[in-house]
Structures are given as structure tokens and as C-alpha cells.
Amino acid sequence: MKRIKRIEVGVSAIVTSAALIITLLSMVGCSSESQPESSADSQLQGGDSVTEQAIPSLPEQPFNYAVIELPQHYRVNTFAAGAQLQRAAIELDNTPVDNPITDHGATLGRVLFYDRRLSANGSIACASCHQSDHGFSDANRLSEGFDGEDTRRHSMGLANAVFYQSGKFFWDERAETLEAQVLMPFQDPVEMGLSLEELNQRVMAQSYYGPLFERAFGDAQVTSERIAKALAQFIRAMVSISAKYDQARVEVDNAAQDFPGFTAQENLGKRLFFLPRQLADGQSTNCAGCHISEAFVGAASMPLRGTTSATNNGLDIDSSVDHGVFESSGNTNDQGKFKVPSLKNVGVTPPYMHDGRFATLEEVVEHYSTAIQPHPNLSPILRAANGEPVRFNFTDAEKAALVAFLHTLTDYDMMADEKFSDPFQ
């Protein structure tokens, strides 16, 4: 593997002064019940759930977030020349030049991600809807906001967010960047219920944030821009490179070859996913046209119609309930199009699609096999030469093989990695 080093900025040492050492030692491992209640805590609505959350416990030396050793199959595009939509994952990196991942920045982001104090009544955090054991998604069809109301759409998994080339986020891509996206849930009246001014005040009221901001940005000033940058760094560091797929992939030269480390069923599913499938009308298509690179992210190239690389996969014949990207772009050619998240960890992120309509991977495969609907903006990859939706018509054995292959994309090491875990536990 080649070491891909991201430029680290900010303070290089974990402890910059004796005062900081004293501050950290006074915080680590202590219960918030032994701390005086801050003014922000005293203003929380709905009881004392927040006071049950401990002070974050962090290592003396930060975890490594900034130097990610990407395997060769993330760095080199080994797909056949005819696979024009394919890219190497590293070519899709959406990290902005003014916000490279740093160890201290991502550490701050980790604390912000798990801090329930940063919601209107102290009951939820970002991690409440993006749970590590569910691939940083939510097992519920819709997530529950701070006051018990349901969110509008299913919570998307976060693995490989750094490789979504356009850099746009949410199912409808209303956030132009990850830095913009991470601030929106705080301000959502259903999700976390704060204004940015209230968010800043909540953060400033917690004694543990001062040293974290100083290490990440050079001084202890709290701003919503810095909060956004730290959270974005933490999320971009969630790169999946340790799934069974990745471990088996290193034994072969390209993704099309059978993997010695796979079962016969898993290799069959892999071939069905990557290789063109001949359809009844003589046309051929495959799953990999919409899930590109070996990071398995959404397509990077722009369509002939519309403003987005997000796609319509024929869930419905029209978009009367949820208009998708059209809601942010206003372009009618974007009606019913939704962002395509990475398939990494897809085996542990049910239910599926933007509305959580499919409870299992088996239901998802059946949709593509026999049930794609003729939406006006259906992806060209899923439209036959006669204009009708394609029918993959998988056999039962092929359906089972596809599901088995998709489970090889689950990265248990990543989900269990301490650097992505709750520092308040």
C-alpha cells in the first residue's frame, strides 16, 4: 500500500502547555453529575437527560485520521477500458483545499458528533441518527428528532462520503458541501432544534471544547464555520478499506477476476454486479454503472438531462410524494432523482432507499430484477432500447448470490474502530 498523507495543519503537539494538561486531566473520565451545571445546560428543554452524559474521554495522543493508507484498488482504476463510467476512488475525493483532515480537527469533530448537549433538549446527537453498529445509519425507517417527531427521510450511511465527487449531500443534494451539510441538522426544527448562535453558545459553555478548538485551529475561538470543518473532517475520515471485499481484493489484479478469498456464491454475485448482463432486447447493463469505483459510490459523470449525477432508479412511476433533487435544483429533469450513497456497509444499513421502503437486501434485488418503474427521469442505464425499464430477471440463485456479495462490503473493523466510537462512554 502507498501511504496517502494529507497535509496536517494547526498545533502539532497534543499538550501545548501545563495548563492544558491540568485542564484535560480534570475532564477525562469524570461524570457530568460532579460538574457544576453550565448556563447552557440550565436552559435545556425537557429535563436532565443531558446531565447524564459524561465528559469525553480522549487518548493522550490523537488517533490517526489524517494519514489514511488507501489500498491499490482505491488508487488505481483497473476496470476494462470499456467501463467508461469507472474511476479510481481517489479521483473522486471531495476534500476542499481549505479543510484537509487533521488528527486534531477530526478529534474535535468526533466529540461534536457524539455530544447530545448540542440539541434543544440535550436528548440526541448526530450519532443518534448515524449509529456505528448500523454502518453509521439508523435501523429505523425514519429517525426520531429531539422532540419525538420523525424525520422526513431515512438516515444515510456515512462510509466513503469523501468519495462522492460532486461534494453535495443529503438525498436531495440540497447541501453544496459536507461543511454545509453538517450544520443543517442542528438547525432543523425536527432533528436538533437549535440556531447557529445557540449551537455556538452550547459549545462555548462546555469546558472541554476550549483545548480541542485550540489544538484543531490554533486558538479556542468557537464559530459555526469551525464546527462545520471539524465535523466534516471526522466524517471524511470514515473510509472503508477493511471489508471482506477489500481483504480478498488484494489477492487479484482486478475486480473482474474471481477472488480466492470468496465463496463460489460470493464470486457469482460479484460477477453479476460488475459484468454486463445481456437483457432480452440484446442490450446489456450492470449494477456497477450506478455504483462506481471500488469504493462503490454514486456515478461521477453528469447526465444528458438535469443538473446532477444523482439518479432515478425507478422506485415510482412519478414523484408526487418526494421530488428528490428537484426540490433543491428546481430543474424538472431532476424530479425523482436521489443521491446514491456508497454500498460499503450496505448489509447493516436496512431499511433501504431514501424512504426506507425496502426492509431487506432481498427486496432491493427483487426491485431491480422485476419491478423498476417507468419514471420519466429513469436512469438511462435502467432503460431498455424501447424506452421501457430494463428487467434483469435474476434467477433465485443469482438473487441469493448478489445478496451474498453485498454482504462482503460490510466493514466490521471500521464500525468497531475506537477512533469512530462515542468518546462520552
Q: What share of the chain is helix, strand, coil (3-state, %, to 5)?
A: 35, 5, 55
Residue 43: CB atoms within 10 A of its CB come to 13
**What does the pLDDT read at residue 303?**
57
Full-model pTM: 0.88
Predicted confidence (pLDDT) per residue in 6-57, tens digit: 333 333 333 333 333 334 444 333 333 333 344 444 444 434 445 467 899 9
Q: Which of 13-17, 72-76, 125-129, 179-183 has the lowest mean pLDDT?
A: 13-17
- For 289, the grid coordinates are 454503472
Average pLDDT over the chain reads 89
Tell me which DSSP letter residue 311 carries.
B
User: Which 3 state secondary structure label does DSSP give 231?
Assistant: helix
Predicted confidence (pLDDT) per residue in 79-116, tens digit: 998 888 899 999 999 999 999 999 999 999 999 999 99
Pairwise CA distance, residues 210 & 363, whole Å: 48
For cell 495543519, name the residue: 9
Predicted confidence (pLDDT) per residue in 130-161, tens digit: 999 999 999 999 999 999 999 999 999 999 99
Q: Which of 165-169, 195-199, 395-399, 408-412 has the lowest mean pLDDT?
A: 165-169
Distance of CA 265 to CAs 79, 289, 407, Å? 22, 22, 12
Q: Is the dihedral of CA 107, 110, 112, 114 positive or negative?
A: negative
Predicted confidence (pLDDT) per residue in 243-278, tens digit: 999 999 999 999 999 999 999 999 999 999 999 998
**What does the pLDDT read at residue 4?**
41
**What does the pLDDT read at residue 306?**
66
Q: What is the mean pLDDT of residues 393-422?
A: 98
